Each structure stands twice: as C-alpha cells, then as structure tokens.
Amino acid sequence: MATSHYKLPSDDTNTWLMKSEPDAYSFDELEKTGRGMWDGVRNYAARNNLRAMRRGDQVLFYHSNIGMEVVGICEVITEHYPDPTAESGDWSVVDVKPLLRLPQTVTLKAIKATPELANIALIKQSRLSVMPVQREEFLKILEMALMVNG
DNA sequence: GCCAACGTTGGC
DNA sequence: GCCAACGTTGGC
C-alpha cells in the first residue's frame, strides 16, 4: 500500500505546515518532479520558520483557497539558502521532496471541528504560510487522514 | 465579491 | 516611535 514506506517523523525532528495555492503550486506538481524548491516566501515570520527547518523535518502540505485541505506530507531535504527568485531583500528557501499523499485529505473544516487541533497555528494565525506544527497536532492530522470512512 | 486579520509603509 | 493608510492573504 502507499503508506508502506512512510516513516513517522523521528523524535529529534520538528514538524511544520506550509501553504500553497494549488493553481500556483500543488502537491501533484511536487510528486511529478520528485523535488521542489519552496520559493516566493515574502513574510518575515514565514521566512524565519523556513530558516529553522532542518533536513529530515516533515511538513504538512496544505492547499489554500482551492481545496482548503492538507493533501500530503513532504520532507525537508536541504537547509535554507537564498531565494533565487527574490529581486531584492533577504529571503530564503528550502528544498522538499514528497513523502506521502494522504489517503484521505484533511479539510480545514475537519481541523476546526477537532478539539485537539483548536490551537493549531493554521487557525490561530490564519495568514501565516509557513508555520510550526506540534508533533501531537501532526500525528492527529495523520490519524485523520488514515481513518477509514472519514 | 466581501471583509477580517494582519503585515508594511510612510508622515509626523 | 506612533499610527493611519494601504496592501495582501485567505476564508466565507
């Protein structure tokens, strides 16, 4: 099955959530290329979160605007480096690779309806595009994605 | 299409 | 350094 090679994030790594509008960059696209550069972040808080990422950290891939759901998990495969798409300013990217397409997506609606996720940054800081996620929150979302029949 | 939340800019 | 004006994000 698709999840057979997926490994839960190890205890010495951090977990994150990153947003993308799927018509700009989708999980499909990341899966197609096998590797992606997370560019275009132009917000200091989000940039600082990129800079705090380490190789092996796992990231929930969220589709904003269209879908409004977590669709997959990817892994950070480089430390941060300067954003080559930035014409000015001090901006950063990391590279990621797809790890797992969720068997069942986890919608914003479902997240909002889950008491254990009441404090997730996705809800508390709705405009932030790169944010830390607590391990328990990450595992809860994964559990929801694996549940049979919703 | 609207608007709340929130980040940025610039005048003072 | 304050804050009003403005721009952007992203859910509804």
Q: Report the side by side order of strands in the sheet with A58-63.
A: A36-37, A95-107, A69-76, A58-63, A15-20, A130-133
Task: Return per-residue pLDDT of chain A as tens, 150 residues.
Answer: 556 689 999 999 999 999 999 999 999 999 999 999 999 999 999 999 999 999 999 999 999 999 999 999 999 999 999 999 998 889 999 999 999 999 999 999 999 999 999 999 999 999 999 999 999 999 999 999 998 754
How much is the pTM?
0.94
How many Cβ atoms sit within 10 Å of the Cβ of residue A90?
Answer: 9
Which strand C nucleotides have any atom less than 7 A from protein CB atoms? 8-12
A131 and A48 Cβ atoms separated by less than 8 Å: no
A139 touches strand C (CB under 7 A): no
A65 touches strand C (CB under 7 A): yes
Dihedral angle at the C-alpha atoms of A107, A113, A117, A122, nearest 10 degrees? 50
Identify the bridge partners of residue A15 per DSSP, sorted by sequence position: A58, A133
